């Protein structure tokens, strides 16, 4: 349904006469003034934009590195902890306990060796060792057993385990001949009187596992593992491990920030830091299971900060602004150029329509909706040529994530904010949080507060406070047809053909710095019903005044329309809603942008 746009009113004083000799002089003044003004605005805007994008990329890179290191830590700990669990079970085996008390018993020895073989197959490295404190013979896999000398310094782990360890301990060594790092898990074996009778354990080829972690990482940051002695235990450059290079020396430029971050870490925690030596980020993460740390450092240049779609949009808006400035001042100053002013006005409209095209390109393709839903319809109509409403969708193997957003304001200010929100969405949604709408809203809240430099009331430093944010609804539609819904101010309407249920959004404003933690954001679970049709709309539909009393269009009218037309296709329902809205509005100007999305799930979702 096309829009009908009224012609803009001409500026005051337009059309009065002046002498023909004044025209070139006026034109020169217009050009000089417009260029100077544009250069000032462009310079100040560019400085602010570069600072804003630099900050945005810095925060985003830090968050991505934190996610990467957290995943690496969890994978490494899960791998090691699974091996520890098997070692502890082996040390508590009644048969092995009896054998360690009576190692000379041939029947017990035979049964115990069979059990050790079974445990060996359970370990990832297919390796097991044991030694009892009676004969101190060291057995390991297929090698010939040999007597172990507890007084040999290389065997420090033996007295350490028997005299100082109650559950298990580690010892780590690097084999320069094989170029691998081995992690040994040692667990004491107790008899019935709680006396230690020997040691069992396994070895882990830690280098192989760490190498797989590096192979899975495609980023440009430098990632290092190191122990409490600050020796590098894992790195892409194996030389650093072989020579036991200190992390302090390898990252000397950044060590002051990394060291401070280590001191502030909670147990098993992770921290993101900004580096001062070079503009960039560092992340430090503790691995309690190994008493190790992971750190990653990434330099961020100004060029990298500007390698985003936002830069293209900024330049396009600056061009639009230049055309607008020149056009407006030409219309005001050149009193005889009535035809030229009309052309300038058309140029302004053309430029803003180009900005509208840019904004429309931010909207997802219909193919995403066709893949997710059996039937759907979308009405997206800004009040002006550009607007502050936006929507976003992404399909995953196990469901679909749909976000509907109403940014503060409309027109050009609202459009600028939608560009920032879409860019933030792209980085905020990860493989770890896409099923949790409340997590996504919290992530967006944190990033918008940081990028917009929002000052909360408690900070009270007298600086300018940005109160721009958005109303936001986030839905995850699982393959079984269930829906998880979190929202600030935007409602979802569910119609089963008999009743319409309005599930209200929370009274929270995203991006204003008022949400203190993720637990403040609620999630509503909508059960499966194959008859359900769903509708989400911004307040531009419900708040529009009209009718004889200039009352709002309201929720009741909307709910009546979707219930009465439930059996129609979504496209037909949307046409009827728009027609009712326009009839109700009459000659009353629209007060806000209009956004309405309706959909029905596919059968394979239910």
121-179 pLDDT, tens digit per residue, is: 999 889 999 999 999 999 998 889 999 999 998 888 899 999 999 999 888 776 665 55
Question: What is residue 312's predicted lDDT score, i.e. its pLDDT?
Answer: 66
59-68, 154-163, 448-457, 468-477: which has the minimum mean pLDDT? 448-457
What is the arithmetic mean of pLDDT over 15-31? 54
What is the arithmetic mean of pLDDT over 471-500? 96
| pLDDT surpassing 50 at residue 562 | yes
Question: What is residue 177's predicted lDDT score, i.e. its pLDDT?
Answer: 56
Q: What is the DSSP letter of 513?
A: S
Q: Give the SS3 label for residue 105.
A: coil
Are 49 and 321 spatial neighbours (Cβ–Cβ below 8 Å)?
Answer: no
Question: What is residue 291's predicted lDDT score, i.e. its pLDDT?
Answer: 82
216-220, 493-497, 588-592: which has the minimum mean pLDDT? 216-220
Annotate 277-340 with three-state secondary structure: CCCEEEEEEEECCCCEEEEEEEECCHHHHCCCHHHHHHHHHHHHHHHHHHHHHHHHHCCCCHHH
Question: What is residue 304's predicted lDDT score, i.e. its pLDDT?
Answer: 59
Question: What is residue 16's predicted lDDT score, i.e. its pLDDT?
Answer: 41
Between 362 and 195, the more confident residue is 195
Strand runs (DSSP E) across 337-398, as ranges?
Answer: 373-381, 389-396
- Contacts (Cβ under 8 Å, ≥6 apart) of 233: 172, 181, 206, 225, 226, 227, 241, 292
Are 553 and 546 spatial neighbours (Cβ–Cβ below 8 Å)?
Answer: yes
Q: How far apart are CA 140 and CA 203, in angstroms?
A: 10
**Local confidence band at 347 (pLDDT 50, 70, 90 cut-offs):** confident
Ordered by where they begin, the domains of the chain are 25-35+304-352 (no CATH), 92-208 (3.30.450.20), 209-303 (3.30.450.20), 363-605 (3.60.40.10)
What is the arithmetic mean of pLDDT over 45-58? 69
| pLDDT surpassing 60 at residue 512 | yes
What is the arithmetic mean of pLDDT over 451-459? 60
- Give the pLDDT confidence of 353-376 residue by residue, as tens digits: 877 888 888 899 999 999 999 999
- Contacts (Cβ under 8 Å, ≥6 apart) of 7: none
- Contacts (Cβ under 8 Å, ≥6 apart) of 428: 440, 443, 444, 447
Q: How far apart are CA 335 and CA 342, in angstroms?
A: 12
Question: What is residue 309's predicted lDDT score, i.e. its pLDDT?
Answer: 61
What is the arithmetic mean of pLDDT over 425-450? 89
Question: What is residue 19's predicted lDDT score, i.e. its pLDDT?
Answer: 47
What is the arithmetic mean of pLDDT over 186-211? 87
What is the arithmetic mean of pLDDT over 241-252? 89
What is the arithmetic mean of pLDDT over 440-465? 70
Question: What is residue 467's predicted lDDT score, i.e. its pLDDT?
Answer: 59
What is the arithmetic mean of pLDDT over 106-127? 91
Question: What is residue 8's predicted lDDT score, i.e. its pLDDT?
Answer: 36
**Local confidence band at 300 (pLDDT 50, 70, 90 cut-offs):** confident
Q: Average model confidence (pLDDT) for the chain?
A: 83
Question: What is residue 464's predicted lDDT score, i.e. its pLDDT?
Answer: 44
Q: What angle do CA 249, 255, 261 make, to 5 degrees?
A: 145
**Local confidence band at 53 (pLDDT 50, 70, 90 cut-offs):** low
Strand runs (DSSP E) across 398-511, as ranges?
Answer: 399-407, 470-478, 483-488, 492-495, 500-503
Question: What is residue 213's predicted lDDT score, i.e. its pLDDT?
Answer: 61
| pLDDT surpassing 60 at residue 465 | no
| pLDDT surpassing 60 at residue 120 | yes
| pLDDT surpassing 50 at residue 13 | no
> Would the pTM of this model clear 0.85, i.e. be above it?
no
Question: What is residue 340's predicted lDDT score, i.e. its pLDDT?
Answer: 61
Q: How far apart are CA 112 and CA 95, in angstroms?
A: 6
Residue found by looking up tokens 């995953």 in the block: 396
251-255, 306-310, 496-500: which has the minimum mean pLDDT? 306-310
Question: What is residue 328's predicted lDDT score, i.e. its pLDDT?
Answer: 63
**Local confidence band at 22 (pLDDT 50, 70, 90 cut-offs):** low
What is the arithmetic mean of pLDDT over 548-562? 94
**Local confidence band at 180 (pLDDT 50, 70, 90 cut-offs):** low
| pLDDT surpassing 80 at residue 531 | yes
| pLDDT surpassing 90 at residue 378 | yes
């Amino acid at each position: 349904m096309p829009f009908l746009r009224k012609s803009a009113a001409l500026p005051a004083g337009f059309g009065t006469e002046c002498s023909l000799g004044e025209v070139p002089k006026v034109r020169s003044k217009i050009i000089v003034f417009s260029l100077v003004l544009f250069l000032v605005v462009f310079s100040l805007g560019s400085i602010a934009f570069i600072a804003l994008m630099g900050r945005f990329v810095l925060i985003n890179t830090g968050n991505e590195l934190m996610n990467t290191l957290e995943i690496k830590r969890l994978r490494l700990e899960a791998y090691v902890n699974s091996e520890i669990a098997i070692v502890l079970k082996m040390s508590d085996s009644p048969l092995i306990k009896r054998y360690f008390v009576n190692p000379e018993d041939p029947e017990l020895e035979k049964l115990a060796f069979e059990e050790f073989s079974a445990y060996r197959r359970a370990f990832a490295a297919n390796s097991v060792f044991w030694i009892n404190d009676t004969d101190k013979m060291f057995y390991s896999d297929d090698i010939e057993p040999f007597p172990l000398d507890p007084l040999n310094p290389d065997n420090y782990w033996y007295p350490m385990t028997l005299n100082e360890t109650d559950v298990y301990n580690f010892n780590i060594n690097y084999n320069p001949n094989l170029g691998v790092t081995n992690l040994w898990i040692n667990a004491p074996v107790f008899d019935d009187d709680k006396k230690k009778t020997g040691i069992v354990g396994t070895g882990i080829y830690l280098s192989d596992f760490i190498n797989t972690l590096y192979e899975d990482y495609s980023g440009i940051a430098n990632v290092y593992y190191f122990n409490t002695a600050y020796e590098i235990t894992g790195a892409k450059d194996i030389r650093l491990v072989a020579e036991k290079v200190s992390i302090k020396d390898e990252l000397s430029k950044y060590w002051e920030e990394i060291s401070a971050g280590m001191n502030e870490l909670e147990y098993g925690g992770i921290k993101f830091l900004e580096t001062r030596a070079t503009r960039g980020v560092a992340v430090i993460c503790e691995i309690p299971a190994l008493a190790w740390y992971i750190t990653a450092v990434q330099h961020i240049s100004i060029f990298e900060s500007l390698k985003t779609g936002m830069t293209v949009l900024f330049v396009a808006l600056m061009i639009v602004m230049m055309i607008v400035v020149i056009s407006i001042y030409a219309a005001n100053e050149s009193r005889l150029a009535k035809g030229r002013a009309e052309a300038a006005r058309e140029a302004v409209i053309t430029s803003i329509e180009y900005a509208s095209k840019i904004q429309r390109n931010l909207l997802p393709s219909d193919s995403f909706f066709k893949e997710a839903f059996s039937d759907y319809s979308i009405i997206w109509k800004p009040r002006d040529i550009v607007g502050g409403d936006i929507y976003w969708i992404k399909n995953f193997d196990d469901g679909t994530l749909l976000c509907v957003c109403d940014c503060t304001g409309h027109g050009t200010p609202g459009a600028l904010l939608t560009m920032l929100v879409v860019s933030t969405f792209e980085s905020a949604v990860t493989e770890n949080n896409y099923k949790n709408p409340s997590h996504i809203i919290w992530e967006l809240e944190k990033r918008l507060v940081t990028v917009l430099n929002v000052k909360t009331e408690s900070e009270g430093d007298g600086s300018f406070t940005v109160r721009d944010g958005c109303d936001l609804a986030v839905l995850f539609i699982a393959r079984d047809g269930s829906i998880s819904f979190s929202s600030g101010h935007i409602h979802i309407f569910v119609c089963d053909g008999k009743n319409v249920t309005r599930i209200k959004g929370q009274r929270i404003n995203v991006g204003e710095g008022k949400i203190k933690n993720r637990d403040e954001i609620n999630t509503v679970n909508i059960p499966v019903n194959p008859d359900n049709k769903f509708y989400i709309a911004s307040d531009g539909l419900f708040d529009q005044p009209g009718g004889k009393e200039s009352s709002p269009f309201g929720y009741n009218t909307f709910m009546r329309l979707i219930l009465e037309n439930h059996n129609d296709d979504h496209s037909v329902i949307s046409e009827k809603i728009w027609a009712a809205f326009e009839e109700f509005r009459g000659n009353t100007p629209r007060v806000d942008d209009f956004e309405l999305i309706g959909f029905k799930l596919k059968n394979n979702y239910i």
